[in-house]
Amino acid sequence: MKRIATGERPGWIQKVEALDFTIHHMYGELYWDERNAYQFTLAQIEDDLEDPTNEILQLCYTAVDRICADPALMTRMAIPAEFHEAILRSWKWSDRDIYGRFDLRYDGKGPARLFEFNADTPTSLFESAVVQWEWLQDMKRLGRLKADTDQFNSIHEQLIGAFQHFKNTSDSGVFHFGCITDNEEDYLTTKYLADVAFQAGFEVVLLDMEEIGIDPENWFTDLEDRRMENLFKLYPLEFMVHQDFGVHLISTPTKIHEPLWKMTLSNKGLLPVLWEMAPNHPNLLPAYFADDPQALRLENAVRKPLLSREGANVTLTLEGTTVAVDGEYGAEGYVVQEACLLPQFGDDYAVVGSWVVAGEACGICIREDKSPITQNLSRFVPHFIMD
């Protein structure tokens, strides 16, 4: 794993905008960053990232089994009691999940270590699946990368396969998508998934979360008063359960994606559960609930809220130095994980996002940040495979 100064392509902004990728800058800063690219060997991809990702995912599925069957543990993870049974039901009936992204600490040498699992509402999907891929093709056309250069990236094909499965079992042939439409990043991710569903044969409808309605039989409805057979929402389940329509999630016949059982994975409480199930697993870091006495033994530790996003309320203590990010999370409790600093390339800390779609590892993305805690100003940097 090396960072190579591959250099920006002339006219790169027009090129990515031609793909409808409008968020190359966000919050006034560069987001799509092709000044550099990360080079991996095939062995690094297959042995250090792809295989461990699949292994961690299987561990996660075992963890769901464990968490769903233990109401006390779900309570400890701040999952409201009135949803416990519905979560178990959605798991037992095999409501399928679509996708997720593991954030891994990897430096090209030792084993990849799991930082956390974005199991419910991961973004940066479109840039991983499409923009990054088109960058590689263009770099090859321009002769800046060799013709046999590759990329760990079958995200798009896996997504189409997943939606084709839903299509095969769909009666209505319609798939609804909800998000906060005025958040450009969320909208772009959701629009991409809707496009994938369309390619898989669905009629698709995209609407704002606030536009979702409810009918007398607990079906969620769209603006034309049509019942939704399937609803993908790029909006956290842990927020939805506390909102006005949250109670309808328990009994709605509408299939929600991601399904309710993903609340057991989209929660930092997963980290101590995994560590307890597979202590000393090479791809895991020691982790405990904050009220566990063993948590105190970790000298170098990261404290993370059970529910938080984009690094909010994370505190990193390493050799006496503390780095903290503000935020509004943390009321539900914390976990403590052994600190393991991200590798630095130049002045930047890089985290590897490892994508899983329909139960398979299928691609990666790299995000760089000036801070060792990756936040929403992190930059997306493409990668390629070349031995």
Partner 1 sequence: MTPEDRYEYVKGGVALAILGTLVLYLYVDSLYRGDTDTAAYNTIDDCLKDNKFGADDCKSSFEIASAEHLKDAPSYDKREDCEEEFGDGRCEQTSPGHVTGGGHFSPYLSGYLIGQSEKMVNGVYYPAVPASALYESRHVPGFVDSRGIFVTNKAGGFKMAHQSAALYKPPAPTTTLARSGFGARGFAAS
**Region 249-308 residues binding partner 1, contact defined as CB under 8 A:** none
CB 205 within 8 A of CB 233: no
Q: Which of residues 59-88 bind partner 1 (CB under 8 A)?
A: none
- Decide: residue 288, CB within 10 A, 0-12 exposed, 13-18 middle, 19+ buried: buried
Helices (H), 232-322: 237-240, 248-251, 270-277
- Shortest Cβ 254–partner 1 spacing (Å): 9
53 counts as binding partner 1 under rule CB under 8 A: no
Handedness of CA 171, 172, 174, 177 (dihedral sign): negative
Near partner 1 by CB under 8 A: residue from 233, 257, 379, 383: 233
Binding of residue 95 to partner 1 (CB under 8 A): no
Give the residue, chosen from 186, 292, 332, 338, that forms a contact with partner 1 under the rule CB under 8 A.
Answer: 186
CB 274 within 8 A of CB 289: no
Of residues 4, 209, 323, 377, which one binds partner 1 by CB under 8 A?
A: 209
**213 is an interface residue for partner 1 by CB under 8 A:** yes
Q: Contact, 26 vs 127, CB < 8 A?
A: no
**CB closer to partner 1 out of 123 and 283:** 123
Q: Does 54 bind partner 1 (CB under 8 A)?
A: no
Q: Does 23 engage in binding with partner 1 (CB under 8 A)?
A: no
The nearest distance, CB 219 to partner 1, in angstroms, is 6
Binding mask 310-349 for partner 1 (x = CB under 8 A): x---------------------------------------
Q: Distance of alpha carbon 194 from its chain centroid, rounded?
A: 17
* Closer residue to partner 1 in complex, CB, 248/281: 248
Q: Are 226 and 260 in contact (CB under 8 A)?
A: no
What gap in Å lies between CA 14 and CA 303, rounded to an integer?
41
Task: In angstroms, give the least distance from the CB of 279 to partner 1.
Answer: 27
Tell which positions 163-182 bind partner 1, by CB under 8 A: 164-165, 168-169, 171-172, 174, 178-180
Judge contact between 382 and 32, C-beta under 8 A. Answer: no
- Residues numbered 109-128 forming contacts with partner 1, rule: CB under 8 A: 118, 121-123
Q: Among 359, 371, 372, 377, which residue interacts with partner 1 (rule: CB under 8 A)?
A: 359
Q: Tokens in use for 133?
A: 């891929």
Dist CA 85 CA 337 (whole Å) = 29
Instruction: Please pick, from the candidates 210, 319, 326, 347, the single residue that binds partner 1 as defined by CB under 8 A.
Output: 210
CB 282 to partner 1: min, Å:
23
Pairwise CA distance, residues 353 & 89, whole Å: 30
Strands 25-26, 99-105: parallel, antiparallel or unpaired by DSSP?
Answer: unpaired
